[in-house]
Amino acid sequence: MPKIGIDPGHGGSDPGAVAAGGLQEKDVTMAVGLALRQLLQEAGVEVVMSRTGDQDVSLADRAGLFNREQVDLIISLHVNSAGTPAASYVSTFILAPGGQAEKIARLIQSELVAATGWPDGGVREANFYILRETDAPAVLVEMGFISNPETAAQLATPAVQQALARAIFRGLAAYLGLKPNEPRDIQGHWAEAAIRQVMAAGIMSGYPDGTFRPDQNATRAELATALANLLARLNLIPTRAG
């Protein structure tokens, strides 16, 4: 099994970008990073985190840790910011085209766009430290713009944080040949595509026994939970229910 490095950007005295409403980039990257770690570990993947709490970790220490641990690939998590609140897209960065990092980035980028519905900022190149100074293929994900009030409000919700983690996981799973943790009874069902979409967005989930039961009637409680998750996804209520 591969060993993956997860780098939740910023932390400690460095909040990263800050939304007008006070949301800090370091908190979003930490939430998504922990959720992504759980998904990867459930799939049997060993994970190395550059930080697991709200602490200061230098860029050199992050790169050094991943190099010492000899991870197979690195995912660095960030949230973008701009001088105008109108900026709104999700993008994934690599150091240079043509390598394994580009393949990983394209798979992750596709899943992120599908899960969030945010405009596609594409795979871009940048000379970021974590991309340049690590031995393993590395990508840096900019999970929307915290300077955009609508995006920031969504990023503050557990539903969207989980959806981002699941999207990144699905991209990694496709690259690594892993079987995503998904219900075993949806393949070939006439609503398979729709079921995958609502699960990726964090609106509905399967049952603990590994099934979705697509032809079973929903209870009022299950319907209420799905609707509450949808409202959170649309930023009409502050947090995810259930």
User: Is residue 142 annotated as part of the catalytic site, yes or no?
Assistant: yes
The one catalytic residue among 25, 102, 142, 182:
142
DSSP assignment of 123-189 = EEE---HHHHS-SS-EEEEEEEETTSHHHHHHHTSHHHHHHHHHHHHHHHHHHHT---S--TT-TT-
N-to-C CA span, the chain: 32
Do the beta carbons of residue 91 and residue 123 sit within 8 Å? yes
Burial class (CB in 10 A: 0-12, 13-18, 19+), 3: middle
Point out the residues that are catalytic: 142
